[in-house]
Structure 1
Amino acid sequence: MRHIAIVGSGPAGYYTAEAALKQWGEDVRVDIFDSLPVPFGLIRTGVAPDHQSIKGVSRRYENTALSENVRFVGNVTIGKDISIAELQDLYDAVVLATGAPNDRKLGLPGEDLPNVFGSASFVGWYNGHPHFADLDPALSHDTAVVIGNGNVALDVTRILAKSQEEFEGSDIVAHALTALDASQIRRIVILGRRGPHQIAMTPKELGELGHLARASPRVDAADLPDEAEDAGLDPGQRKSVGHLRAFAAAEPCEDRDVVIEFDFFASPRAIIGSKRVEEVEIERTRLENGKAVGTGETYRIPAGLVIACIGYQTSKIPDVPYDDRAGHFANEDGRIAPGLYCVGWARRGPTGTIGTNRPDGFAVIEKIAEDIGDGAGKAGRPGFDALAEKRGVEYVKFTDWQKIDKAEVANARQGSPREKFVAVEHMIDVVSKD
């Protein structure tokens, strides 16, 4: 029998568990640990609440979770309830699938001012992540600045720009919906250091901005390269740039009271304010060999909210080698140390789509199969249970999560699939009830 511990119950974790079942069948036991009492990671708290079709992938993970060979072990914190070294003593292999839940820092003066947020915290706020439910961003200024030219920047912008009616069918949490309904934001500026040809925005997500009920996107035609140059782009990028060209050519919509401005060739230099953010200082850039180079020309945008969507980092775990520059665990093709592995964003950083984690999971299981053979006769699941009982660690099982799930669905407001619990203690209360 092989005993595998996976730390993290998001896409990378469940794809790795699925791969383990395909590799060994009945000859493996997989325990999936998570610090929260609820599974599915960024599917629950990272994917935009108005993109419900993407969240549907969790049904695939549920099939894996319900296998007798796989167990969800929620509400267990690695480093507090149990150490990595102890997991390695109990399991033949420990796989870190913890994702990249922390924001990269801007490294700018003023980024610690109130009402300046990273996208992980802001997205966590409107998605009901327990760590960010009390964020309480002020939406009382008329201008917000979103830094970044990827899909997360689009998600944040779209959520800020939507009307209350446009959230029907989403699982945005009630506290965020109430705050957004009272928002005074009427101008959203999206900053990108480089130009339209260098965006990391996909066509579907970018195109959504053109169909908002009360917001209109604007692009300065002078920022667009000659249309003939689009021929060198891949099809997806060409379609995305086509959306930008359409935004630039469109007549202003007088009946829409929110403006979304794309500010290309714009690099933030400082965030300015006293008690909270008041302005963003920006330097104009130009491209040199594909890189953004400052021109020395600066200007300021008055703003009361700044959200940085510039990437994520993996959380450090005591005694696990970490690559500070890359922002993920130090590894060689998923191997960290004997018996210790990493997968997904914890291995390669926040790149690719949700589906990219599937081949990643299968690849790491192949390496584990090479390394552990028939297993080393370790204690595995019974060993963890004995340790948990000794320490008074009461973990949440998948059947407990199903109780939470049922309660959230029952609590849903009209037109929403669920109302998430945003406090761990409320989740545990549901589990504790008969």
Structure 2
Amino acid sequence: MVETSTLRVAVVGAGPAGTYAARHLLGAGDGTYADGRVALLTDRAIEVDMFERLPTPYGLIRGGVAPDHPEKKLMGQLFESLTRRPEFRYFGNVEVGRDVSAGELSDWYDAVIYAVGASDDPVLDIPGADLTGCVSARQFVGWYNGHPDHADLAVDLSAERAIVIGNGNVALDVARILAHDPEILRRTDIADHALKALERSRIREVVVVGRRSHLHAAFGCAELEELGQLEGIGIAVDAAELALAGSPPGLARRKHDALVSYASNPSAGGGRRIALRFLTTPIAIEGSEKVQGLRWARTGLVDTASGTRNLDLAGVSDVIPAGLVIRSIGYRGSPVPGLPFDEVRGVLAHLDGRIRGCPGSYATGWIKRGPTGVIGTNKKCARDTVRALLDDAAAGLLPTQRSLDRATLDARVRERASAVVDLHGWRAIDLDERRAGHLENRPRRKHTRIPDLVSAARAGHPVGPQRYEIIVIGSGLGGLVSAACLAASGKSVLVLEQHEILGGCSQVFRRKGKWEFDCGVHYVGGCVPGSDSLIPTVLRGLGVEDRIEWSRLDDDGMDTVVLPEHTFRVPTNWDGFADNLAQTFPADATGLRNCVAELRLIGEGADRINDVPHSVRVVLPLARRPRELAVIVRALEQPIGRMFDRHRLSPKARTALLSLIHLHNTPPSRTPALLVAALLRHYFKAGAYFPTQGGQVLAANLAEVILSHGGTIRTKARVRSIDIQAGRVTGVTLTDGEAIGTDIVISNADAHRTFLDLVGPEHLRRRTVDRIRAFRRPHSIFSTYIAADIDIAATRPATNYILHGRYDVQTTYDMLDHGQWDPRGWLAISSPTLKTQGRKHFGIPGHSSIEAFTAVPAEYEFWGGGDPMAGPSYKGSPTYIQRKAEIEASVMDRVLDTLPELTGHIVWQESATPLSHERFTLSRMPYGPENAKDQIGPGRRLSVRTEIDGLFLAGVSTVYLYGIAFTMRGGVGTASHVLGRDLLKAFWAGEVISDRASLPEHGPGWDPFDVCRGHVRKGARGEQQFAATITAG
């Protein structure tokens, strides 16, 4: 029998571990994807109450992440996404053991998960460790981050030298904060008392000492390299200590090289310096009543030819004078009253997350596994614990008494805790701190004492929202086209983009003032001025067609396909394509020509269908062409392999027809013939093109239409929720708490994020939620960007290179489906330099930009389990480092084999993984839903109109499909639904809806990149409160 009653769970701790546990319980939409689907742990109704002993949530995100690393605080947004779920409640300033007992929670709830972290310190067992002036890194970090437990910590900064014992990332954080210029820290959320103390600090040197060699140091490469980028701070390393450790293994080479560079340049920096010492074991802290120095001995672990051994150089010891010693030797859990505790490991006593002797009680995070891993490691840890809980619930192993109802639970908690801070109170604290920070151009000014936090919670009042007629979430081309159409039609439009640059897949990025790289626009079809192709038609209707210049790829070969034993070019016409294939595979010539003819029939027939892909009326124009209609329907319903079977193609010839699979990244077994035909028709109708000024020029011109017609654009404005009341849109709320009112929202985010994160399953029909969760996503891509100091267009045509290391393309996707990467899978090489034949709008002549892409698994497990939403710490995972290095090396080998003239001329390269994509775009899968036969067509892809009144969709998740042309056309389709008129029909008829006279002039120095950035705004909430403060004062 399936249990259907609501399961009520208490989560104790509001840090990363508790947040992940709550999200797994409530089925958040950002879980690990197995074969492209959201991996949900249960369908059972669950309610979660989160308890936190402090008034504020976030745990170490608020109290542990260094203030000069704001990017690592993104994890807090995951907590915020919970706060709009009606099944979630927050009880801050409630401590287990003080206000409520563990036994009471077990009596009140069906299950309790303890995620209380590690709030104690391991013992440094050397003489003098208890002297005044010796503090733990946990205390010091809490002090500068404004943790109420440590706001009154006595920190003596009067001496000229401080010592940090330990060589992990926390040790480097501590050293960096001590050495930083206070003017830099003044722009962060560092606690006021710490900022004042550091402004008076006399410390000029911070010595970081580690017992082990630099090859075994726990700090990450990125954190180590960051030290060398600190302005005005010298980094000192003793080359002799590095030499004692021997040769570095592969994964330690980058760390070793960074330290060698520091050792060779000891005078770098200004008046302050950080010295890194290795093989330096503390044996005593010197001083009578307060710290005066650290005595050390030269001992530690080093690598030798025969393995790792202990180095013990008798008599090699010394004293480093100092007035402050900070112990950064880890964290340790503290007992929870009423629960069994493992004193040896410093964790709750448990088995696979189940707390021993306490049925229904569980542990996750550091209190479960000890202080190991990065923030994102808690995601899998919490998932394992939640699975154990749900398995026990399904097996009837939870305590049999019924949990209390929600109202009774609330009353019980408030009876025992006199100053509960709920979500409204947290919002008030957050708003008050941000307001105070706004006045000083800082992210926030933290309250650092419990009474002040409670007072702020009780005194806060929300600010009323602004209103727009239409809000567009996301600035991908679908969203920008919709916004441009609506703004040009006289609507009040606001575009909200979480990134700092507009454009989505059309974005570019630049490096070193010489090179520009395109993220997603590589080549498009049919951009002949004045033609009826989609892109020129949309741009013409918006009045900007003549403001964009296009470079045409080589008509004899827009792509050059390199197979293990064959090479052929893909011309931009059907007959030439068939001829090249027949010449390359003479044994399959007849079958290939017949196959290309059938694809042509399908592709050209698709041009005649109605432009209403959300309806079966799409095929009405073919009612009088029954044969053509039957062929098109068959092409949609059957995978491309069926066509190959009918024409009896050999495996090698099949690969030739699948050579452009990089354009959709869908396994052949799931690729409909219609998709292949439509893609070829897109390029063969009127040639292949690339925007001469890069993909950013598309977003820039659309942005100018929006702005010149009274629209508003805001970047770095991430939306937390689409607000719904009684089944209709009322506005949006940003992650900083700002509320903006509207009756219409167009979401350019992908379907999973739109419905499962921004709207929430509670506002949707169950079948809609199931449908969204069932959408398969395609595999992701690994991108490598290469800069060269030669012009490769001098000797090569305007072509892309498509490499296939095997003839059986399906094998590549079978491997990907099983979480494996295929080093022989497809690799696409695209160069803006080649496509524009060396014409540069940015950088200097004689240099080349090259981009390479290949398919890789998107699953977190493949990349080492990190979570980009927790900040960039995932990059420090050994698995991540190894995977990235391995794939990048393979990509570079294949690029150099194809473009050998680059040998010796590559001056810069950088790679992006699926986790990189997610960190910047909130998605690891850039293609949208998989373009498979069961996910394309009326009723299979999402309509732009949703079941929520006032909510519309734009972008690759909709029936208009993916790709630059179809996404832009889809943007017009969405705007048409909002306005109630067919804009594309009007555009084809020659109507221009924008006021061309209002568009800004494009002079010689016009730069599309500049147009797409600089739209950051503090937000109306902060501005209103700032004005109110001025008025009141």
Q: Structure 2 length normalisation: TM-score?
A: 0.41
Match of 1:208 among 226, 230, 240: 226
Q: 2:272 corresponds to which residue?
A: 258
CA drift of 1:32 comes to 0.7
Which AA in structure 2 matches 1:391? R
Change in CA separation of 1:392 and 1:171 when aligned onto 2, cut-off 3 Å: closer
Distance 2:335 2:263 in 1: 43
Distance 1:392 1:160 in 2: 38
CA drift of 1:350 comes to 0.9
CA drift of 1:26 comes to 6.8
1:352 and 2:373 are equivalent in the alignment: yes
1:119 and 2:124 are equivalent in the alignment: no
What count of residue pairs does the alignment treat as equivalent? 430
Distance 2:22 2:258 in 1: 39
Assess if the C-alpha contact under 8 Å between 2:424 and 2:457 holds in 1. Answer: no
Distance 1:323 1:170 in 2: 38
Q: 1:233 corresponds to which residue?
A: 250
1:85 and 2:110 are equivalent in the alignment: no
Specify every segment of 5 or more residues in structure 1 that has no aligned partner in the other structure, as ranges.
Answer: none
2:448 match: secondary structure: coil
Q: 2:258 corresponds to which residue?
A: 243
Assess if the C-alpha contact under 8 Å between 2:100 and 2:416 holds in 1. Answer: no
Q: 1:415 corresponds to which residue?
A: 441
Match of 2:420 among 380, 387, 395: 395
Q: 1:269 corresponds to which residue?
A: 283
Distance 1:194 1:380 in 2: 54
Match of 1:145 among 163, 169, 174: 163
CA drift of 1:60 comes to 1.9
Which AA in structure 2 matches 1:15? Y
Assess if the C-alpha contact under 8 Å between 2:414 and 2:420 holds in 1. Answer: no
Residue by residue, what CA displacement relative to the aligned partner does 1:258-279 show, whole Å, maximum 9, x if unpaired? 1211111111111121221011
Assess if the C-alpha contact under 8 Å between 1:7 and 1:95 holds in 2. Answer: yes
Residue by residue, what CA displacement relative to the aligned partner does 1:52-106 show, whole Å, maximum 9, x if unpaired? 0110221122101321111111000101111101101111111110111222121
Distance 2:417 2:239 in 1: 63
Residue by residue, what CA displacement relative to the aligned partner does 1:319-371 show, whole Å, maximum 9, x if unpaired? 21111121111111111131111001111111111111111111111110111
1:217 and 2:217 are equivalent in the alignment: no
Distance 1:277 1:428 in 2: 37
Which AA in structure 2 matches 1:193? R
Q: 2:609 corresponds to which residue?
A: none
Determine which structure has more spread, i.e. the larger CA radius of gyration: 2
1:261 match: secondary structure: strand
1:9 and 2:28 are equivalent in the alignment: no
Distance 2:172 2:89 in 1: 36
Q: Structure 1 length normalisation: TM-score?
A: 0.95
1:406 match: secondary structure: helix
Root-mean-square deviation (Å)? 1.9
Q: 1:197 corresponds to which residue?
A: 215
Distance 2:451 2:350 in 1: 36
Residue by residue, what CA displacement relative to the aligned partner does 1:18-48 show, whole Å, maximum 9, x if unpaired? 0001134671110110011100100000011
Q: 2:189 corresponds to which residue?
A: 171
Residue by residue, what CA displacement relative to the aligned partner does 1:157-194 show, whole Å, maximum 9, x if unpaired? 00001102222542111111111111111111111101
Distance 1:85 1:319 in 2: 7
Q: 2:652 corresponds to which residue?
A: none
Q: 1:431 corresponds to which residue?
A: 457
CA drift of 1:294 comes to 4.2
Residue by residue, what CA displacement relative to the aligned partner does 1:88-128 show, whole Å, maximum 9, x if unpaired? 11111111101112221211111111111101100000000
**After alignment, is 20-29 or 330-339 more displaced?**
20-29
1:39 and 2:57 are equivalent in the alignment: yes
Match of 1:135 among 149, 153, 177: 153
Q: 1:316 corresponds to which residue?
A: 335
Distance 1:282 1:392 in 2: 48
Change in CA separation of 1:303 and 1:291 when aligned onto 2, cut-off 3 Å: farther
1:313 match: secondary structure: coil
Distance 2:277 2:245 in 1: 19
CA drift of 1:197 comes to 0.5
Residue by residue, what CA displacement relative to the aligned partner does 1:5-24 show, whole Å, maximum 9, x if unpaired? 11100000010000001134
CA drift of 1:432 comes to 1.9
Match of 1:404 among 410, 429, 439: 429
Change in CA separation of 1:65 and 1:290 when aligned onto 2, cut-off 3 Å: farther
Which AA in structure 1 matches 2:264? A
CA drift of 1:251 comes to 4.5
Match of 2:180 among 162, 170, 174: 162
Distance 2:43 2:348 in 1: 29
Q: 2:297 corresponds to which residue?
A: 283
Change in CA separation of 1:312 and 1:226 when aligned onto 2, cut-off 3 Å: closer
Assess if the C-alpha contact under 8 Å between 2:213 and 2:245 holds in 1. Answer: no
Assess if the C-alpha contact under 8 Å between 1:91 and 1:380 holds in 2. Answer: no
Match of 1:379 among 391, 404, 415: 404
1:103 match: secondary structure: coil
Distance 1:125 1:332 in 2: 35
CA drift of 1:222 comes to 1.2
CA drift of 1:282 comes to 0.7
Distance 2:47 2:261 in 1: 53
Distance 1:287 1:372 in 2: 47
CA drift of 1:293 comes to 5.0
2:351 match: secondary structure: coil
Assess if the C-alpha contact under 8 Å between 2:354 and 2:361 holds in 1. Answer: yes
Which AA in structure 1 matches 2:250? L
Distance 1:320 1:192 in 2: 35
1:300 and 2:319 are equivalent in the alignment: yes
1:216 match: secondary structure: strand
Assess if the C-alpha contact under 8 Å between 2:16 and 2:378 holds in 1. Answer: yes
Assess if the C-alpha contact under 8 Å between 1:11 and 1:41 holds in 2. Answer: yes
Assess if the C-alpha contact under 8 Å between 2:83 and 2:423 holds in 1. Answer: yes
Change in CA separation of 1:8 and 1:53 when aligned onto 2, cut-off 3 Å: same
Distance 1:28 1:82 in 2: 22
Change in CA separation of 1:203 and 1:286 when aligned onto 2, cut-off 3 Å: closer
Change in CA separation of 1:99 and 1:290 when aligned onto 2, cut-off 3 Å: farther
1:340 and 2:361 are equivalent in the alignment: yes
Assess if the C-alpha contact under 8 Å between 2:101 and 2:338 holds in 1. Answer: no
CA drift of 1:382 comes to 3.4
2:26 match: secondary structure: helix
Specify every segment of 5 or more residues in structure 2 that has no aligned partner in the other structure, as ranges.
Answer: 1-5, 28-40, 462-1033
Distance 1:315 1:396 in 2: 24
Distance 1:106 1:184 in 2: 26
Higher relative contact order (Cα pairs below 8 Å, separated by 6+ residues): 1
1:328 and 2:347 are equivalent in the alignment: yes
